[in-house]
Structure formats: structure tokens, C-alpha cells
Amino acid sequence: MPLDWAEVTKRYAGGAKIPTVAGGRSFEVAGVDDEAVYIRTPLWSDALRREHLEKAVDQLDQGGLSRRAGQFVELYRTEVADVRPTSVAHVLKDLGFLE
């Protein structure tokens, strides 16, 4: 199923604390707009580009990426973008795309 950006916007518009893929810790989504999901930790902040998230979900649907978080991270890095792959996994797991 394709990534519904309206749902992403609704879910993260006010920011959110989401569980990490390993569990036991939380991860902060600072906000969202038409271009990206914004993330923040105590040490850094960054943006997860919409185009990369959509491409990842498309590849998940086509079987090109694993739905298992650990394997997803390695494949995402080489097949989609080498930009915060673990952070992308946290967000996509929270959205129900990863196991």
C-alpha cells in the first residue's frame, strides 16, 4: 500500500514520541510538512525526505526491501538513500510498514 502523506501529516503534525525498532527507548518526531518528517535527538536534528520515505514504501510493496527492521536498514542505505536509515525504520515501523 502506498504511503498516504495526508495520514503521515495528521499523525506527526504536532510532533510525537515513537518507540525505536529495538524497543525500550523513544524517538522524537518534531513535526512534518509537505516535504519531510522532521526528527530530533538531544544531539542532532534532521529531516527524512518525503521522496525517500515514499520510495522506501514502494520498494517494500514490490519486495525490494525487507520488512524486518535490521535488514531494512542495510537495504535502505544502498537502494534508497544513505540518510538516517535507522531513523527511517523507526518512522516506518510506527506507521505499520515494518515488523
Supply the pTM of this predicted model. Answer: 0.94
- Alpha-helical runs (H) found in 1-99: 5-12, 50-62, 69-79, 85-94
* CA dist., res. 64 & res. 60, Å (int): 6
* CA dist., res. 4 & res. 54, Å (int): 9
Instruction: Tell me the three cell numbers of residue 73.
Output: 536498514
* CA dist., res. 5 & res. 21, Å (int): 21
Alpha carbon 71 to its chain centroid, in Å, reads: 14
Average pLDDT rounded to a whole number, residues 84-97: 97
Domain ranges of the chain: 5-94
pLDDT in tens, 19-41: 999 888 899 999 999 999 999 98
